[in-house]
Structure 1
Amino acid sequence: MQNLLTTITEKIEVNTNLTMALHSAFQKIKVQKGEAILEEDTTARFLYFIDKGVLHNYYYHDGKQISSWFYTENHFITAWYSFYAQQPSFEAIECLEDCELYRISYTDYQKLILEFPEFNTLVMDDLG
Structure 2
Amino acid sequence: MYDLEDNTLHKIEKGWSIAMSCSEERLKRLYGWTDDELVVAKQQGLVMLETVCVFVHGYDCVRLPVDFWKMLFAEYGIVVYPSALTECLAPSGLGTSQTFTEIYSEHIVMLGKRDSNRPAFCPFEYLKEPLPVYEK
Q: Report the TM-score, using the length of structure 2 for normalisation.
A: 0.31
Higher strand residue share: 1
Higher helix residue share: 2
Larger Rg: 2
Q: Report the TM-score, using the length of structure 1 for normalisation.
A: 0.32
